[in-house]
């Protein structure tokens, strides 16, 4: 079965500090796509960052970067210079590229609280 | 370009009533996905539609749930004879292409409460 595991239900970090959210997944596919989504209290799902499994270089988007370890099936998210607006639920998700229907498989999420 | 629009934002239904959730995808997007989020859980795939076609409904409960995406108008997720266990946030997402090649844009969700 293809699954996504986020082992940290809650995390907290002080403003301006760095925090890393962990994510592991299980798949027998060789090609797939990985995502991190942010869900603030407004409930909107916002794409934070996206990684293609065949690309070795880790994706970065401003203060957000990933550590993609394909052999270990690990896809952690690092948030640098944390801001109060980063407070949200963060979901890791992936799509096996062989799938024709592009079903995103989500983890259960990590609730991140940024303190002033 | 307006984002994915879902309405209503909140919906309250009594047990046994019908719930209709609407989703207008972003302009130019022909792929629509519905996901359900139970409290304290991640999103679970329900159904994937293209215009006038259901492509994958493997995540839909076999009874009481149906979805459509007509040629004209929004996509509709319909839940008949709702039960308390249907209480959840229902998200719609759209994309112009297969989502692996383009980001999936989500709406703000409809929170369904069954009393």
- pLDDT tens, position by position, A12-27: 999 999 999 999 999 8
Helix (H, G, I), strand (E, B) or coil at A58: coil
Q: What is the pLDDT of residue B87?
A: 96
CA atoms within 13 A on the CB side of A41: 4
Q: Cβ–Cβ of B98/A33 closer than 8 Å? A: no
- Partners of A101 on chain B (C-beta within 8 Å) are 48, 55-56, 58
Tens of pLDDT, residues A52-68: 888 889 999 999 999 99
If we measure between CA atoms, which residue out of A70, A90, A83 comes closest to residue A21?
Answer: A90
CA distance, residue A98 to nearest chain B CA (Å): 10
Chain B residues in contact with A106 (beta carbon < 8 A): 42-44
Which residue's structure tokens are 């401003």?
A62
Closest-CA residue to A21 (of A8, A32, A33, A34): A8
- What percentage of chain A carries pLDDT values higher than 70? 95
Inter-residue contact B95 to B103 (CB < 8 Å): yes
Residues 3-62 of A with CB under 8 A from B: 4, 33, 37, 42-47, 50
* For range A29-47, the mean pLDDT: 89
Chain A residues touching residue B90 (CB < 8 angstroms) = none
- Chain A: nearest CA to B43, how far in angstroms? 6
Percent of all residues in chain B with a pLDDT value above 70, rounded to a whole number = 95
Nearest chain A residue (CA) to B50: A101
Nearest to A103 among B56, B103, B109 (CB): B56
Query: Would an 8 Å CB–CB cutoff place A84 in contact with chain B?
Result: no
Question: Measured between alpha carbons, how far is A84 from A101 in angstroms, rounded to an integer?
Answer: 36
Name the pLDDT band for B18 (thresholds 50, 70, 90): very high
With an 8 Å Cβ cutoff, are B45 and A33 in contact?
Answer: no
Query: What integer pLDDT is reported at residue A44 of this predicted model?
Result: 87
Q: What distance lies between CA B3 and its chain's CA centroid?
A: 15
Q: Is A107 on the interface with B (CB under 8 A)?
A: yes
Quick one: pLDDT band at residue A29, thresholds 50, 70, 90?
confident
Residues B24-36 have a mean pLDDT of: 92
Please indicate whether, in this complex, the C-beta atoms of A102 and B35 are within 8 angstroms of each other.
no
Contacts of A109 in chain B (CB under 8 A): 41-42
pLDDT of residue A101: 56
What does the alpha-carbon distance between residue A18 and residue A54 come to, in Å, rounded to a whole number? 27
* DSSP symbol at A84: G
Q: Cα(B47)–Cα(B34) distance, rounded to whole angstroms?
A: 5
pLDDT given at position A35: 93
Does residue A98 carry a pLDDT above 70? Answer: no
Average pLDDT estimate for B3-17: 96
**Closest listed residue to residue A47, CA positions, set A37, A62, A56:** A37
């Amino acid at each position: 079965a293809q699954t996504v595991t986020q082992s940290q239900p809650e995390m907290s970090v002080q403003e301006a500090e760095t925090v890393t959210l962990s994510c592991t997944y299980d798949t027998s596919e060789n090609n797939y796509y990985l995502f991190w989504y942010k869900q603030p209290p407004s409930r909107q799902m916002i794409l934070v960052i996206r990684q293609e499994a065949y690309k070795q270089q880790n994706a970065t988007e401003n203060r957000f970067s990933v550590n993609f370890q394909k052999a270990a099936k690990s896809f952690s998210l690092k948030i640098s210079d944390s801001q109060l607006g980063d407070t949200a639920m963060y979901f890791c998700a992936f799509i096996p590229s062989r799938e024709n229907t592009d079903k995103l498989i989500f983890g259960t999420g990590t609730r991140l609280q940024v303190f002033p | 370009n307006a984002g994915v629009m879902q309405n209503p934002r909140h919906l309250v239904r009594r047990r046994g009533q019908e719930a209709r959730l609407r989703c207008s995808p972003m302009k130019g997007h022909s792929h629509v996905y519905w996901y359900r989020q139970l409290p304290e859980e991640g999103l679970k795939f329900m159904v994937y539609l293209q215009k006038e076609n259901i492509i994958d409904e493997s995540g839909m409960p076999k009874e009481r749930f149906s979805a459509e995406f007509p040629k004209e108008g929004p996509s509709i997720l319909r839940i008949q004879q709702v039960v308390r266990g249907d209480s959840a946030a229902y998200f719609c997402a759209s994309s112009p292409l297969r989502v692996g090649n383009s980001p999936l844009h989500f709406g703000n969700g409809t929170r369904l409460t069954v009393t």
